[in-house]
Chain A
Amino acid sequence: QVQLVESGGGVVQPGGSLRLSCAASGFTFRSYGIHWVRQAPGKGLEWVAFIRSDGSNEPNAESVKGRFTISRDDYKNTVYLQMNSLRPEDTGVYYCAKDDPVLANWGQGTLVTVSS
């Protein structure tokens, strides 16, 4: 069955960086795009970034443009989200999701806390 496992979250100071990973299994990873979606504490869902199966991507959400970069390693069946210049408003749970062609399968999420 499809499984997505996020990791790499933690506590970071404003201005710092984190790299999230999304490890996939149970499907032909190289054939599918992957999205990142986040959820601030007690708030709704916000789409963040998307990478296609061919490695191309759409522009990120405006709120993270120029700071976050999505990439993939098909040998490791893993998608990454490099997050730089982190702000307190980036705090939340970050989910990765398989594109099929919507957010068909989600991971359990990883918590990112940006605080001094």
Chain B
Amino acid sequence: DIQMTQSPSTLSASVGDRVTITCRASQSISYWLAWYQQKPGKAPILIYKASSLESGVPSRFSGSGSGTEFTLTISSLQPDDFATYYCQQYNTFPWTFGQGTKVEIK
């Protein structure tokens, strides 16, 4: 199975900060990576897949990377962005997720 490793596990930041989350795959997954946002008690929401921002997601979110290293960047953190973020590879079954990055208020 492909292992997905996110860093950091927790990120403390303030409104307006630029934050970056890194996701590494144990082998190349080309561009087949998605990012999800999850708030407590809610289902995850797809925010980014294969170098493309989902419709309706604010443009302050951006993603990059290919192969084994990927990043999700929030250019100016907003109150609604405090949540847990997961990366997920869909190159090969079984699909696998990173362990999550919790973005919390500093």
Taking a contact as CB atoms under 8 Å apart, the answer to whether B88 and A45 are in contact is yes
For B86, the chain A residues whose CB sits under 8 A away are: 44-45
Task: Mark interface residues in B46-73 (1 if CB within 8 Å of A CB, else 0).
Answer: 1001000000000000000000000000
**Contacts A44-B99, A45-B97; A101 near B90 (Cβ below 8 A):** yes
How many A residues have CB within 8 A of the partner chain?
Answer: 21
A 26-60 to B, binary, CB cutoff 8 A, 1 in contact else 0: 00000000010000000011110010000000111
What residues of chain B lie closer than 8 Å to A95, measured between beta carbons?
Answer: 43-44
Bound CA span A59–B94, Å: 8
A-B contact count (CB 8 A): 50
Residue of A44, A46, A103 touching B34 (CB-CB under 8 A): A103
How many residues of B are in contact with the other chain, CB < 8 A?
Answer: 20
Q: Are A62 and B94 in contact (CB under 8 A)?
A: yes
**Residue contact A44 to B43, C-beta cutoff 8 Å:** no
Closest to B34 in A: A102
Kindly state the separation between the CA atoms of A45 and B46 in the bound complex, as whole angstroms: 13
A45 — nearest CB in chain B belongs to which residue?
A: B97
| Beta-carbon nearest neighbor of B32 in chain A | A102
